[in-house]
Amino acid sequence: MTPPPGRPGSAAGPGERAVPAAVRAVRAFVAAYGREPTLLVRSPARVNLIGEHTDYNDGLCLPVAIDRELCIALRRTDDVPTAGDATLRLVSEQDPAPAVVGLPPPAADTPPPARATGWARYVQGVAVQLAATGELAAIGELAGAGLVPWQGALASDIPLGAGLSSSAALELAVAVACTHLAGSVPAPTELARLAQRAENTWVGAATGLLDQLACVGGIAGHALRIDCRTLTITPVPLPAGLAVVVIDTGSRRELVTSAYADRRAECERAARALAVPALRDLEALPADAASRLDPVALRRARFVIAENARVDAVAEALARGDAEAAGRLLLAGHRGIRDDFEVSGPELDAAVAAAQAAPGCFGARMTGGGFAGCAVALVDRTRLDAFTAAFEPAYSARTGREAVLHVCSAVAGTSVTALR
């Protein structure tokens, strides 16, 4: 789940939004520490085209890493005797209080009251997992931890709380910074697993692996068909002329984590009742499903089974350049997640309806964990102006809100660049 508003992950103020996050991160580093950074880590947001809530059911999903990114400018501090004690220290343009993680980091079994709070939990959680797994035990300069102390500054263009995975982008950026400085190059899937463990066991959000895999494994110009059981990633080319438009509805929900955990438990209950390891193992509901499942579990299972099939159907449609077929499947996915999985919301439904009625739209659906945040639309790039002109007043008339439209490109995953 993404960090709540007021923490890292949202863009800077209006006067700064034309300045890329990478530039802002470097400026913030110099302002905070009085010297130049040596490395820049960039980590993208992701939008999921189809395959929602399937990842923790061992299923399929089809995300895209998009060109809204979080950046950390940094440099190691053990090369400067006066730099202070052994810590990871990260300042943010969104929060005056830095995230500071002492090295070695806390033990993995540290009780929640003794852990960092707010957005610093994500930073600390990644460090804890790196130390606990022994990923760097034989590398860095701190015995038993393998973590090299560093200072960093964070800037981000990812809207907070919108379901675009600002938390996963932060986790992967910190993980890549730590492993790079320690001289380690873990496989993308291992980095994703580590970041997921940080979110599950340290932050306490029962997320699947979709967000982390999409952020770290993105491929420019492609969506990613991810098999969440085998962790196989298959690139799916996006047709030329097709725009992926992320619609930030302006709605936010603070208390999503408990509802997310409820849906996960309901899916697990359905799998047990149907005697399968996970709902992924079913291509259709058995004939006696209604007698074996309570009504809620039945709806959840029906959605997950249909959603897995839609992932392959959308991937095939995109690969053959059939945007109309892909769009119809997105609309079917939205109906399913609204009616059977019950995690849509009024603003999300209004955004999908307004998008579908606008010129040039092939299809739309809510995206992310649900209840609020963003929808995604597939739009003919040559008709973007007409789409925007029709969508904005229609959505405002339905909701009294103003949406923000992000026309996105598919980009590469989390990476690190030397600045000098």
Residue where the block lists tokens 């890329």: 20
CA quadruple 168, 192, 205, 163: dihedral sign: positive
Alpha helices in 146-240 (DSSP H): 166-181, 188-197, 210-217
Q: How confident is the model at residue 123 (pLDDT cuts 50, 70, 90)?
A: very high
pLDDT over 50 at 126, yes or no: yes
CATH number, residue 297: 3.30.70.890
Position 7 scores a pLDDT of 39
Q: Is residue 210 part of a domain?
A: yes
263/383 same-domain check: yes
| Interstrand relation of 232-237 and 222-227 (parallel, antiparallel or unpaired) | antiparallel
231/248 same-domain check: no
Q: How confident is the model at residue 5 (pLDDT cuts 50, 70, 90)?
A: very low
227/259 same-domain check: no
Query: 203: which DSSP letter?
Result: I
213/263 same-domain check: no
Task: Report the catalytic residues.
Answer: 211
Q: How confident is the model at residue 79 (pLDDT cuts 50, 70, 90)?
A: low
Position 216 scores a pLDDT of 95
Determine contact, residues 29/288, Cβ cutoff 8 Å.
no
167/264 same-domain check: no
Q: What is the mean pLDDT of the chain?
A: 90
pLDDT over 80 at 11, yes or no: no
Q: How confident is the model at residue 81 (pLDDT cuts 50, 70, 90)?
A: low
Q: Is residue 5 part of a domain?
A: no
Q: Is residue 9 part of a domain?
A: no
272/336 same-domain check: yes
Q: Is residue 115 part of a domain?
A: yes
- Which domain covers residue 121, as residue numbers? 14-237+410-418
pLDDT over 70 at 276, yes or no: yes
The number of CA neighbours under 13 Å toward the Cβ of 240 is 0
Position 140 scores a pLDDT of 38
Query: How much is the average pLDDT of 225-229?
Result: 96
Q: At what angle do helices 188-197 and 166-181 cross, to 10 degrees?
A: 120
CA 66, 326, 355 angle in degrees (round to 5)?
Answer: 70
Tally of domains within the chain: 2
Q: Which of 83-87, 303-307, 366-370 shows the lowest per-residue confidence on average (mean pLDDT)?
A: 83-87
Position 94 scores a pLDDT of 85
pLDDT over 90 at 136, yes or no: no
Q: Which of 158-172, 222-236, 336-350 shows the lowest per-residue confidence on average (mean pLDDT)?
A: 158-172
352/249 same-domain check: yes
Position 132 scores a pLDDT of 87
Reply yes or no: is the peptide bond before residue 295 cis, omega within 30 of 0. Answer: no
Q: Is residue 7 part of a domain?
A: no
160/32 same-domain check: yes
Q: How confident is the model at residue 260 (pLDDT cuts 50, 70, 90)?
A: confident
133/47 same-domain check: yes
291/338 same-domain check: yes
Q: Is residue 31 part of a domain?
A: yes
Position 363 scores a pLDDT of 98
Query: 241: which DSSP letter?
Result: T
Q: How confident is the model at residue 12 (pLDDT cuts 50, 70, 90)?
A: very low
CATH number, residue 23: 3.30.230.10
Q: How far apart are CA 184 and CA 176, in angstroms?
A: 9
264/154 same-domain check: no
Position 84 scores a pLDDT of 54
Position 257 scores a pLDDT of 63
Q: Which of the two residues, 17 and 190, has the higher pLDDT score? A: 190
Q: Is residue 249 part of a domain?
A: yes
pLDDT over 50 at 240, yes or no: yes
pLDDT digits (tens, 9 = 90+) for 91-120: 999 888 999 999 999 999 999 999 999 999
Q: Is residue 220 part of a domain?
A: yes
Position 135 scores a pLDDT of 54
What percent of the chain has pLDDT above 70? Answer: 90
166/252 same-domain check: no
Q: How far apart are CA 400 and CA 297, in angstroms?
A: 35
Q: How confident is the model at residue 76 (pLDDT cuts 50, 70, 90)?
A: very high
Query: How much is the average pLDDT of 290-314?
Result: 98
